[in-house]
Structure 1
Amino acid sequence: MAVIIENDKIRAVINEHGAELSSLIAKGTGIDYMWSGDAKYWGRHSPVLFPIEGKLKNDSYHFNGQEYHMTQHGFARDQDFAVVECDDQHATFELTQNAATKEKYPFDFRLHLTYLVKDTTLTLDYSVYNPADEQELFFALGAHPAFKAPLMPNEKYTDYELTFAPAKTRKKIPLANSLTDPMHEFDVNENRLAVSRELFKNDALIYNLQQEPTKITLQDTKQKHGIQVGTKDAKYVGIWSAYPKDGQFVCIEPWWGLADPQDADGELTHKFAINKLASHQEFKAGFSVSLF
């Protein structure tokens, strides 16, 4: 089942399975800005990354002396969410613990995703709540939206570019075999990037945003149309596309967490960039996607 929210300018379609945004259409042009999800290249549109972002070393972790196994990006993207609020322009989706999640993750939790359309912008707000009376909740969270590039039939993938605002020097985090090396992040001044297949030959580009407000724009080089992702407090952003496959999309991924470092010891409470919630506390985050 899918939920549609819309105003007079944009329409968003969100699947209850994974609470995944599958379509984002500008009504004036009919352009759908989201990747089609063609499994030949990458079979998703905009998965929710919870309760981990990225990969665990050996796909496993330990908590309270017990070993648990979880594959890359966690389980939320493969769970059915409940729709708990919905009207023409907004919808809230909920996921809580169940027997399947408890096998991989021993915590009670409540995850809410709220989608809202306003003018030509879609906002996505996250809420993570710890319902336990005594136990702390450890988690990471992330987004993985894939935006179509090119958007127009007379364009090519390489007609697009990425720009960052504010323009500044940022820390970049090495990634190898899907594991990170945050202790060796290094300064880069990469505020404008030409989109090409070779740009992603070493997997995702990861930037430390230091929770500073940031806008990342994907647009054609003539700057006629594209999208702008805005985040107020993301810890990191990942930029990714298929390589060497010729997938016609670019992912701009705000993250509140990070894949395991290569030297991770496997203890969840030690996990780099993990978030921790006390009993009955709530974590909030979010980002926006503006169309032009």
Structure 2
Amino acid sequence: MAVIIENKQVRAVINEHGAELSSLVAKDSGIDYMWSGDSKYWGRHSPVLFPIEGKLKNDSYHFAGQEYQMTQHGFARDQDFTVIENDGSRAVFELTQNEATKAKYPFDFRLRLTYTLTASELSLDYSVYNPAEDSDLYFAIGAHPAFRAPLVPGEAYTDYEIDFAPAKSRKRVPLANSLTDPQAEYAVDEAHLAVSRELFKDDALIYNLEQEKTIITLQDQAQQHGVKINTKDAKYVGLWSSYPADGQFVCIEPWWGLADPQDADGDLTHKFAINQLAPKQEFQAGFSVTVF
């Protein structure tokens, strides 16, 4: 099932399966800014990444003396969420532990995603609550939205560019075989990137945002159409597109976590960039997408 929220400017479609945004249409132009999900290139639109972001070393971890298996980006994207609120322009989706999640992740949790439309902006707010009485919750969370490029007929993938604001030096995190090396971060001046297939030949480009408010814009060179992603307080952002396959999309991915380092010891409590939430406490984060 899908949920539709809209206002005078924008209509968004969110699937209950994965609470995944599948369509974001500007009503004046009819442009759908979200990737189609063509499985020939990449079969998703905007999955939520929980309770891990990226890949675990050996696709496994251990906690309290027991080993667990979990594949890249976790399980939330493949679970059916419950719609607990929908007023037409705002919808709230909820996922809690179940038999399937407990087999991979031994924690009780409450995950809520709130989608809100305000003019031409769609906000996505995350809430993670730890219902336990006496144990901490360890988790990461992130987004993986894929935006169409090009957006209008007559343009090409390579007509697009990515801009960061503020324009400043940032640290890149190396990625090899889907694992990171945070200790080898290096500074780059990449406030402006021309979109090309070769840009993504080494997988995702990962930037350490240091939880500084950052706006990342994907737009055509004429700056007529595009999206602005306001990351608010994300720890990292990943940029990704299919390579060498010619998928007509670019992902801009705010993350509150990171794939395992190459030297990870597998202990979830030691995991790099993990979030640790005390009993009866709530974690909140989010980002927004403005279309133009």
Q: TM-score, structure 2 length as denominator?
A: 1.00
Deviations 1:115-171 (A, max 9, x none): 000100000000000000011000000000000000011000000000000000001
Deviations 1:255-282 (A, max 9, x none): 0000000000000000000000000000
Q: Partners in 2 of 1:220 and 1:290 — Cα distance?
A: 15
Q: Partners in 2 of 1:247 and 1:149 — Cα distance?
A: 9
Deviations 1:229-265 (A, max 9, x none): 0011000000000000000000000000000000000
Deviations 1:150-196 (A, max 9, x none): 00110000000000000000010000000000000000000000000
Once the 2 structures are TM-superposed, how far is the Cα of residue 37 of structure 1 from its aligned partner? 0.1
Q: Partners in 2 of 1:232 and 1:35 — Cα distance?
A: 23
The number of residues matched between the two structures is: 292
- What is the match of residue 82 of structure 1? 82
Structure 2 counterparts to residues 140-219 of structure 1, below 5 A: 140-219=140-219
Q: SS state of the match for residue 269, structure 1?
A: helix
2:206 alignment partner AA: I
**Which runs of 5 or more residues in structure 2 are unaligned?**
none
Is residue 59 from structure 1 mapped to residue 76 from structure 2 by the alignment? no
- What is the match of residue 105 of structure 2? 105
Deviations 1:76-106 (A, max 9, x none): 0000000001111000000000000000000
Q: SS state of the match for residue 199, structure 1?
A: helix
Q: Partners in 2 of 1:48 and 1:120 — Cα distance?
A: 22
1:84 alignment partner AA: I
Q: SS state of the match for residue 198, structure 1?
A: helix
Deviations 1:195-237 (A, max 9, x none): 0000000000000000000000000001111000001100000
- What is the match of residue 21 of structure 1? 21
Q: Partners in 2 of 1:65 and 1:29 — Cα distance?
A: 56
1:49 alignment partner AA: L
1:81 alignment partner AA: F
Q: Partners in 2 of 1:33 and 1:224 — Cα distance?
A: 13
Q: SS state of the match for residue 77, structure 2?
A: helix
Q: SS state of the match for residue 199, structure 2?
A: helix
1:72 alignment partner AA: Q
Residue identity over aligned pairs, in percent, reads 76
1:267 alignment partner AA: D
2:77 alignment partner AA: R
Q: Partners in 2 of 1:48 and 1:270 — Cα distance?
A: 23
Q: Partners in 2 of 1:22 and 1:290 — Cα distance?
A: 16
Q: SS state of the match for residue 243, structure 2?
A: coil
Is residue 260 from structure 1 mapped to residue 260 from structure 2 by the alignment? yes
Q: Partners in 2 of 1:282 and 1:131 — Cα distance?
A: 9
Q: Partners in 2 of 1:153 and 1:177 — Cα distance?
A: 35
**Which runs of 5 or more residues in structure 1 are unaligned?**
none
Deviations 1:41-89 (A, max 9, x none): 0000000000000000000000001000000000000000000011110
2:229 alignment partner AA: V
Structure 2 counterparts to residues 132-143 of structure 1, below 5 A: 132-143=132-143
- What is the match of residue 245 of structure 1? 245
